[in-house]
Structure 1
Amino acid sequence: MGSKPSNNTVINSYLGIWFHEVPKLTTVWSANGDSPISNLVSPELMISDDGKLVILAGDNIIWSTQANVTANRTVAVLLADGNLVLRSSSNSSDIFWQSFDYPTDTLLPGAKFGRNKVTGLNRRFVSRRNLNDQAPGVYSIYLGLDESMRLSWKSSTEYWSSGEWNGKYFNSIPEMSDTSFCNYMFVNNGQEVYFSYTLVNESTIFQVVLDVSGQWKVRIWDRQDWVTFSYSPRNQCDVYAVCGAFTVCSSSSKANPLCYCMKGFSIGSPEDWELEDRTGGCIRNTPLDCNGSGNSTTGMTDKFYPMPFIRLPGNGIGGCSIWHNELINVAADDGGEILYLRLSAKELQSWKDHRHGTIIGVTVGVSTAALAFILLIVIWRSGKRSSHPMDDDHGGVGIIAFRYVDMKRATKHFSEKLGVGGFGSVFKGCLSDSVAIAVKRLDGARQGEKQFRSEVSSIGIIQHVNLVKLIGFCCEGDRRLLVYEYMPNRSLDSHLFQSHGTVLGWSIRYQIALGVARGLAYLHHSCRDCIIHCDIKPENILLDASFIPKVADFGMAKFIGRDFSRVVTTMRGTIGYLAPEWISGTDITSKVDVYSYGMVLLEIISGRRNSGKESFTDDDHARYFPVQVMDKLLNGGIESLVDANLHGDVNLDHVERICKVACWCIQDNEFDRPTMVEVVKFLEGLSEPAMPPMPRLLHAIAGGSPLMILSS
């Protein structure tokens, strides 16, 4: 806790609380956000004569707790959980005021989010004005009596709801079902209704914050910076008026900024935009010919500028819709309307109207007596909608629809092949803003469209640090392209099995194992529908510049609605990683991914393929590597299992832990295998795996041909 200066030219100070162990100053609470103290005055924090905590600047009280103090003496104490309390000096449980009851933008562990039904105290959160200014912003979130969290703009326009509490999580935030980091609690009784959470590991630095951008974010500190793994709403452009007036929000484009001014307008305050405060929006460059005649001083009349693919503000239904004054909450939308914006002729001297058809326009009228501008946006909604096949499936996801000619240019006519995946080849490319991409071209029409839709559906709607991100797609005629973020360190197999690959140190291998587990846990348990990958193998684990793993290639994924526990499908996957239920042709569940993951864990340990000649030792050629692992766990000598290229530089406790987890994952019976959430807890050291039994299938392999079920 301390006095936090802002970064303005005129230095303002606030009484604030921030994370002590985070080098990047991150404020979680401020007292006088709307009454900053200038550097011309020396502020003083003190206990007043009536026992209240106050901030004085000269003779003026800038801020006060306004507490009803009944004790003779009080003290102010900052507790370890970040709660600033004003209490009796003789009785620590006699609390008259606490910052947890008057939060700003951050919900800390142990704090209550909700209201006291008896006193009327409402603990809601309000965004800050910008990155420096601690004054209240325009976005707020509160907990309703219907047991849902609601985000609003200027406390009037609601734009997101969490859905009701279902006993474990809020319905619209399924990622809360992953309890790796937090334990959640919801209370609704005659006295109060509130939501709260505690940390599984108290040393974790965790923040739930209503960001300047209007998104409710869940973040964790990862040594150098904050990592956000939950956004509500997920699409930034779904935040109401996030870009201000006369702007267009475009979260679907990597080449453009999130917010840009409409044609003929410029940023009102560039300084505020730099601090992520865009509420001032944009202002018109050139005044309109307000008389509406052709007798302007330039001899030119105003014209209309077409803005295609626009999501319009408001709820006009067909016909003619009119908006007055500022035009806000406009966003780019591949399935949107065409809007014609009235601009000064000066702005459009080089523009030629090459479009024909129904006019969708914006015009400006004026009251001659008052000389006041009124902006009228007249929209004729056509019954036509885009025939793009992916609009309904991916509205608001933020995936870019690329043209095929642009992809040819980006990949230099598909000249640099990175590899061959399911149903297609992958090529390296580069967008116009120098962003490297990987373009997957789906070859052959036999199953191309089915895989295309499966990949776009499964990747486009989810985001996780350990899942490869789908940037966009192309669908023209029979051409099908998927555009991903580029992974400079290629796939895991190139480092484990190829002589020219980088030898991965043990700590990196362990983090890869943990990252892949987290990614799969998210797919299985934190998405609205359970997503089964169906083909987990080193080739489908990509590594970014920091060797952070990203699970890729969801072309074989199957959705399982949460009302169904199983799915019947044809046999898929890659030999060597297939669970027994694949081979027998019986029903499958997400446990097939657990089995494949266990096989990958064994290869991470050994640096060799489980199947093939390299999986056998010279002294015991008949022993399949997973059998060796089970034997060493039971009889000792696990150090002999580790990749020789590591030269013994490993953590043997971690090796034993991974071996146990792997052997549990490859159990014959799917019910004996752990879930991926349980695997994450094992690898994080939050729970200890027991000694696994020898799977019957491994017994059979040990007694017969080691490749009897691995070759087709």
Structure 2
Amino acid sequence: MPPLYTYLGLLLLVFSLHNPSCSSAAANYTLAAGQVVAVGDKLVSRNGKFALGFYKPALPEGTASKYGNMNITSPGWYLAIWFNKIPVCTPVWVANRERPITDLEIKLTQLKFSQDGNSLAIIINRVTESVVWSIQIANRTAQAKTSMNTSAILLDSGNLVIESVPDVYLWQSFDYPTDLALPGAKFGWNKVTGLLRTGISKKNLIDPGLGSYSVQLNERGIILWRRDPYVEYWTWSSVQLTNMLIPLLNSLLEMNAQTKGFLTPNYTNNKEEEYFMYHSSDESSSSFVSIDMSGQLKLSIWSQGNQSWQEVYAQPPDPCTPFATCGPFSVCNGNSDLFCDCMESFSRKSPQDWELKDRTAGCFRNTPLDCPSNRSSTDMFHTIARVALPANPEKIEDATTQSKCAEACLSNCSCNAYAYKDSTCVVWHSELLNVKLHDSIESLSEDTLYLRLAAKDMPATTKKKPFVAAVTAASIVGFGLLMLSLFFLIWRNKFNCCGVPSHDNQGSSGIIAFRYTDLSHATKNFSEKLGSGGFGSVFKGVLSDSTPIAVKRLDGSHQGEKQFRAEVSSLGLIQHINLVKLIGFCYEGDKRLLVYEHMINGSLDAHLFHSNGAVLDWSIRHQIAIGVARGLSYLHESCRECIIHCDIKPENILLEASFAPKIADFGMAAFVGRDFSRVLTTFRGTKGYLAPEWLSGVAITPKVDVYSFGMVLLEIISGRRNLSEAYTSNNYHFDYFPVQAISKLHEGSVQNLLDPELHGDFNLEEAERVCKVACWCIQENEIDRPTMGEVVRFLEGLHEVDMPPMPRLLAAITERSHI
């Protein structure tokens, strides 16, 4: 099941008209039988909100420089309906998507409603009446056939309808959507007539033609797919729509000031039809749900203050989930604002299309491969670590080692890449599609892809691309400043940036700059792998003075570099008994390693969820909860700048010999001012622990860590994951523990929530207190959540904890589960 969260940002549709303009004065809203609409004429709804006419898409005035002053033109003219009162021309329906009208044809073009009211058509040349697009009115009732008042009407909702009898539609544009749906439009299917409403994305910002992605609600639920090749990448069943998606949407819309009180989603499923619809109680507002060019469903609202469209919700939330959204020979990174990039030594095949948000052409090689017939190829392999491998691999049975796998690829001129895992060799002879970096959102793969490149294009010898020179220079300067800070830390003992007691009796002697050879020796050439953390792997080692260490070797990606800086900038400057200690680092060439104190008992998740972990008694669990709370309180409240961890989960809570907890993995941490005015533009965190703020578009504060901590508390109590799912041939079932937890808390039966492995041996008063605190921490509105300082005092029993209310989303899920 897709996770329930979204990204923040702006969605600006850049359609505009050359002539006529995309706005209109008062005009007729009806087209009677026998009448026509020519270029320059319009139908305008009675409320003036929507207009219908011919238009030619274009970039907005004054934005040519943004697109490199390219000569960007639209394929032609279209009959469309658009928002009439919004300065950014935004079509909501297009008739002739597959057949644009040329500049030469447009003067001879009309929209004609036939004299008998049986057809509506775009025709070119009144003499020959060449038809560009048409609809035929079928199954007219006897009453409609005898009516003399058949007309086409542009309704206040933006729906173009044909009717003979009032409110009885013979045809309506809402039944044939393009790439978006308006309030009041049904999106689904009719079980009696078989009508299926399908949304198809547009090609690019100035071409409303049929794009790469489609969405449909049918007997299987909501389905998103790529059209060519056909690949389904996201689905919601009818059960999920009822029990999860609609309650979630209602909750998120209520939380967002832009949507609160006037946008209401509804889902209907009866004997005749199944559809999704949303309503707007504010007629002055403008909004739509679209399937955009990247393959995501997005809810956008017009901001009068910003004079732009603002995206407030997206599904799937990870932009890398849609199949091949970045095109061939590209890599998708859901943690990056510009989430698509070409592979090493590849370039954009059509830079203009990329600027217009059409990446289907992808990338091409800078240098052809070396494919001699009389000698071995000189090509080499570039490593791309921690990725989801491309689609359509071919297995090589005879390649039983990695070297043989590489040889098998080099011996075939059409081979572009290989992968070797679990003694299995796979290669790719066609385009590399759907390669996704590990991003902790949807893509969690740890696989490695070996990309075949011409020897001259290997990263060590490849010349810097001109357009990245400035960025590279800035990076060198920025990292130089970081290194100065590191050397300052190395030479200055007892450094504490927060200026307050840290509850740490171990003392500090600064951090150490290690040589790579020293760490290779300490880890026995990185032979004992402890696991995989953010953007790298962790290995066990021992220093020359017998100090046990854990060494995180980061991959060479941009994200690996970012994590290196984030961890050093945070852990290098702070110390607390409940934060993992950064002993040192290595920065040599392209090697980035971080050295931590080794936690002998591993991570909390191993003891809560895995059968081979030690069972934690209640006293240890309670102390772990308090320790993690103290660590977070220190980060949020005791440092000069507030540090938000952004990824609190059991996997990032390490346990020392006495099971004292230490918060680890600061690769996603963010430094923010005390006014929390800094906007986090990149999604951070892990599904299952994400606060609603990441979904609703409001400001991010330390309360996102409070929410994640509340989810962890519930897992400490129960010894189980908060969300469990089960699929059968007939249905889908999910069990969301927070719903059960707050229900049992209100019933006074907290003892039924405790981990069965405790065998009833726990302190009921402490358990009830922890459960109350957890339920306060996961309140939807961040204002209702306590600070981590308050959480510490609650858990220590210094303050009384009131009974928390049931969050709206959990209440909706509870109600649905009893239907």
Q: TM-score range by the shorter chain?
A: 0.5 to 0.7
Letter in 2 for 1:185: N
Contact 2:123–2:133 (8 Å) recurs in 1: yes
Superposed displacement of residue 490, structure 1: 2.0
Instruction: Return closer, same or farther for 1:153/1:163 CA change in 2, 3 Å cut-off.
Output: same
Superposed displacement of residue 30, structure 1: 1.1
Letter in 1 for 2:151: V
Instruction: Return closer, same or farther for 1:221/1:294 CA change in 2, 3 Å cut-off.
Output: same
Superposed displacement of residue 107, structure 1: 1.9
Q: SS of the counterpart of 2:200?
A: strand
Partner of 1:162: 236
Letter in 1 for 2:55: K
Q: SS of the counterpart of 1:328?
A: coil
Q: Are 2:170 and 1:96 equivalent residues in the alignment?
A: yes
Contact 1:215–1:236 (8 Å) recurs in 2: yes
Instruction: Return closer, same or farther for 1:455/1:553 CA change in 2, 3 Å cut-off.
Output: farther
Question: What does the per-residue CA deviation read over 1:524-551, in whole Å, with 9 as the maximum and x for residues that have no partner?
Answer: xxx9979899xxxxxxx99xx9988784
Q: Point out the structure with the larger helix share.
A: 2
Question: What does the per-residue CA deviation read over 1:240-277, in whole Å, with 9 as the maximum and x for residues that have no partner?
Answer: 000111111122346xx311222332111000000110
Q: SS of the counterpart of 1:122?
A: coil
Contact 1:311–1:337 (8 Å) recurs in 2: yes
Instruction: Return closer, same or farther for 1:66/1:307 CA change in 2, 3 Å cut-off.
Output: same
Partner of 1:520: none
Contact 1:293–1:301 (8 Å) recurs in 2: no
1:54-453, aligned counterparts within 5 Å?
A: 54-58=121-125, 59-68=129-138, 70=145, 72-88=148-164, 91-154=165-228, 156-166=230-240, 168-170=242-244, 174-178=248-252, 180=254, 181-223=262-304, 224=306, 225-253=308-336, 257-294=338-375, 301-314=378-391, 319-333=424-438, 335-348=445-458, 350=460, 387-389=531-533, 405-407=564-566, 414=573
Q: Which moved more, 1:169-178 or 1:286-295?
A: 169-178
Letter in 2 for 1:104: T
Q: Are 2:34 and 1:34 equivalent residues in the alignment?
A: no
Partner of 2:57: 6
Letter in 1 for 2:705: D
Instruction: Return closer, same or farther for 1:218/1:346 CA change in 2, 3 Å cut-off.
Output: same
Superposed displacement of residue 111, structure 1: 1.4
Question: What does the per-residue CA deviation read over 1:79-118, in whole Å, with 9 as the maximum and x for residues that have no partner?
Answer: 1111111222xx3223221101100111222211122233
Superposed displacement of residue 305, structure 1: 2.6
Partner of 2:658: none
Instruction: Return closer, same or farther for 1:446/1:221 CA change in 2, 3 Å cut-off.
Output: farther
Partner of 2:87: 23
Q: Are 2:675 and 1:490 equivalent residues in the alignment?
A: yes
Superposed displacement of residue 323, structure 1: 3.3
Letter in 1 for 2:331: V
Distance in 1 (CA, whole Å) between partners of 2:780 and 2:215 is 42
Question: What does the per-residue CA deviation read over 1:166-190, in whole Å, with 9 as the maximum and x for residues that have no partner?
Answer: 5745559844555635434333344
Structure 1: gaps of 5 or more residues: 353-383, 393-397, 426-440, 458-467, 493-522, 534-540, 570-580, 602-608, 610-666, 680-712
Partner of 1:573: none
Q: SS of the counterpart of 2:705?
A: coil
Partner of 2:772: 588
Distance in 2 (CA, whole Å) between partners of 1:159 and 1:402 is 30
Superposed displacement of residue 216, structure 1: 1.1
Distance in 2 (CA, whole Å) between partners of 1:227 and 1:678 is 27
Distance in 2 (CA, whole Å) between partners of 1:158 and 1:595 is 34
Contact 1:153–1:159 (8 Å) recurs in 2: no
Q: Are 2:705 and 1:553 equivalent residues in the alignment?
A: yes
Superposed displacement of residue 586, structure 1: 8.2
Distance in 1 (CA, whole Å) between partners of 2:447 and 2:302 is 41
Q: SS of the counterpart of 2:326?
A: coil
Superposed displacement of residue 134, structure 1: 0.2
Q: SS of the counterpart of 1:103?
A: coil
Q: Which moved more, 1:589-598 or 1:324-333?
A: 589-598
Contact 2:691–2:704 (8 Å) recurs in 1: no
Letter in 1 for 2:56: P
Distance in 2 (CA, whole Å) between partners of 1:95 and 1:54 is 17
Contact 2:346–2:364 (8 Å) recurs in 1: yes
Q: SS of the counterpart of 2:565?
A: helix
Distance in 1 (CA, whole Å) between partners of 2:268 and 2:83 is 28
Contact 2:646–2:705 (8 Å) recurs in 1: no
Distance in 1 (CA, whole Å) between partners of 2:778 and 2:566 is 36
Question: What does the per-residue CA deviation read over 1:44-78, in whole Å, with 9 as the maximum and x for residues that have no partner?
Answer: 22313342222223342221123336455532211
Q: Which moved more, 1:324-333 or 1:306-315?
A: 306-315
Instruction: Return closer, same or farther for 1:484/1:57 CA change in 2, 3 Å cut-off.
Output: farther
Instruction: Return closer, same or farther for 1:342/1:675 CA change in 2, 3 Å cut-off.
Output: closer
Superposed displacement of residue 332, structure 1: 1.6
Superposed displacement of residue 281, structure 1: 0.7
Identity of matched residues, %:
30
Letter in 2 for 1:302: D
Question: What does the per-residue CA deviation read over 1:388-443, in whole Å, with 9 as the maximum and x for residues that have no partner?
Answer: 15699xxxxx99566775236657964xx9xx999679xxxxxxxxxxxxxxx99x
Distance in 2 (CA, whole Å) between partners of 1:266 and 1:285 is 6
Q: SS of the counterpart of 2:136?
A: coil
Q: SS of the counterpart of 1:161?
A: strand
Contact 2:571–2:666 (8 Å) recurs in 1: no
Contact 1:110–1:196 (8 Å) recurs in 2: yes
Contact 1:87–1:94 (8 Å) recurs in 2: yes
Instruction: Return closer, same or farther for 1:199/1:668 CA change in 2, 3 Å cut-off.
Output: farther
Distance in 1 (CA, whole Å) between partners of 2:205 and 2:779 is 46
Letter in 2 for 1:137: G
Superposed displacement of residue 553, structure 1: 3.4
Q: How many residues align?
A: 497
Q: SS of the counterpart of 1:273?
A: helix
Instruction: Return closer, same or farther for 1:669/1:201 CA change in 2, 3 Å cut-off.
Output: farther
Distance in 2 (CA, whole Å) between partners of 1:455 and 1:131 is 50
Contact 1:456–1:470 (8 Å) recurs in 2: no
Q: SS of the counterpart of 1:563?
A: helix
Distance in 2 (CA, whole Å) between partners of 1:286 and 1:160 is 36
